[in-house]
């Protein structure tokens, strides 16, 4: 591919999908009990979430350094690639800004190859779908400007909703965004949220059953919009996610792009019990 696509680890797509697509990654970090570890090296999510449930101090997370980005960018540039680097929403993390600083450092050196950074305005599978769209364009031979254009079109098409068990983790982690207005009595409800370059509240429901049904309603809305390439994600809620997949098959009449578990960086802030669904126009995933 003339254009290499880079992202960070907060998409939580299956490893086989990443490897097959030839996507390159820069890892965020988790500080758990004073030990700083790259998220890409934390393979056992069950153990991580069990510690979260029992520890009084939540883990903390941090963005990659400029050096982390350069470690990924430089070999790709030396191999003759331009780069489109698609990252976690800038309203959630400084990851995108660190990528831009690394790109600026490379630009200051001169040379013919370019690094373009795209703020996905999303996270998790929302970010993942945008990355897949950019990769599809690159595989079709698109140049760097065309790959950026495909990513931007995917940002407009991609939507993801997620229901969390409680706002407490978002509140404690400082990532609650405009859902701050729901803190208080709202900690006892099931919030439904979305990403719009930050955490944005959609509605509040009272029960897990209602939260599930609203996710199903949203899948129907995505189908009506033509966004029939769909995803399901969860944190420590595999059984609920599988039920969502079953309903999704009935609605979309096809298989999901992916069903996967959200890892430690986003999971630290969302907490166990999250379920999420989303979709993108399938034409954006074609070369």
Specify the DSSP class assigned to residue 253: S
Token duo for residue 169: 């983790």
pLDDT over 90 at 37, yes or no: yes
Average pLDDT over residues 140-159: 97
Q: Does domain 3-156 have CATH number 3.30.70.20?
A: no
Tokens linked to 60: 């903390």
Show Cβ contacts of residue 95 under 8 Å, excluding neighbours closer than 6 positions. 8, 10, 28, 63, 64, 87, 88
Q: What is the pLDDT of residue 222?
A: 97
State how far the Cα of 91 lies from the Cα of 54, in Å rounded to an integer. Answer: 29
> E strands, the chain, where?
3-8, 24-26, 29-32, 35-38, 60-62, 82-87, 115-119, 159-163, 190-195, 199-205, 229-234, 258-261, 275-280
Work out the average pLDDT over 88-101.
96
- Quickly state the pLDDT bin for 178 (edges 50, 70, 90): very low
Phi, psi of 244 (to 5 degrees): -65, -40
Any residues with CB less than 8 A from the CB of 183 and at least 6 apart, and which?
A: 167, 171, 176
> How many CA within 13 A on the CB side of residue 32?
21
The burial of 239, by beta-carbon neighbours within 10 Å (0-12 exposed, 13-18 middle, 19 or more buried), is given as exposed
Cβ proximity of 31 and 62 under 8 Å: yes
- Please name the residue that has the structure tokens 């430690």: 264
pLDDT computed for residue 177 by the predictor:
54
At residue 181, the pLDDT reads 46
Q: Reduced to 3 DSSP states, what percent helix, strand and coil does the chain have, rounded to the nearest 5?
A: 50, 25, 30
Task: List the single range of 114-118, 193-197, 214-218 with lowest mean pLDDT.
Answer: 193-197
CA distance 79 to 72: 12
Please state which CATH number belongs to domain 159-285: 3.30.1180.10
What is the band of 261 on the pLDDT scale with cuts at 50, 70, 90?
Answer: very high
| pTM for the structure as a whole | 0.93
Q: What values do phi and psi take at 284, rounded to 5?
A: -75, -15
Where do the structural domains in the chain lie, given as residue ranges? 3-156, 159-285
Distance CA 221, CA 231 (A): 14
List the strands of the sheet with 35-38, edge to edge.
Answer: 35-38, 29-32, 60-62
List C-alpha distances in Å: 284 to 138, 153, 235, 256.
12, 8, 27, 15
The whole-number pLDDT of residue 169 equals 73
pLDDT of residue 24: 98
Distance CA 274, CA 85 (A): 27
> Is 106 in a helix, a strand, or coil?
helix
| CA 50 to centroid of chain Cα atoms | 22
């Amino acid at each position: 591919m003339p254009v290499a696509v880079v992202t960070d680890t907060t998409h939580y797509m299956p490893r086989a999908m990443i490897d097959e697509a030839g996507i390159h990654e820069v890892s965020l970090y988790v500080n758990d009990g004073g030990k700083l570890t790259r998220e890409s090296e934390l393979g056992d999510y069950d153990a991580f979430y069990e510690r979260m449930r029992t520890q009084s101090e939540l883990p903390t997370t941090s963005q990659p350094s400029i050096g982390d980005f350069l470690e990924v960018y430089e070999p790709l540039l030396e191999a003759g690639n331009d780069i489109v680097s698609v990252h976690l929403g800038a309203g959630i993390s400084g990851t995108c800004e660190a990528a831009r600083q690394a790109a600026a450092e490379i630009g200051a050196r001169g040379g013919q190859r370019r690094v373009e950074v795209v703020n996905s305005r999303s996270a998790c599978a929302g970010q993942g779908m945008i990355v897949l769209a950019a990769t599809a364009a690159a595989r079709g031979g698109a140049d760097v400007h065309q790959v950026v254009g495909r990513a931007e079109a995917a940002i407009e098409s991609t939507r993801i909703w997620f229901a969390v068990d409680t706002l407490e983790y978002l509140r404690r982690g400082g990532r609650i965004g405009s859902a701050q207005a729901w803190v208080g009595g709202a900690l006892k409800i099931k919030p439904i949220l979305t990403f719009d370059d930050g955490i944005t509240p959609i509605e509040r429901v009272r029960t897990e059953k209602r939260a599930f049904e609203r996710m199903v309603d949203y899948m129907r809305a995505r189908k009506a919009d033509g966004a029939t390439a769909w995803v399901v994600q969860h944190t420590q809620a595999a059984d609920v996610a599988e039920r969502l997949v079953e309903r999704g098959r009935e609605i979309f009449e096809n298989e999901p792009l992916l069903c996967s578990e959200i890892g430690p960086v986003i999971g630290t802030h969302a907490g166990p019990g999250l379920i999420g669904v989303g979709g993108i126009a399938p034409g954006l995933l074609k070369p």
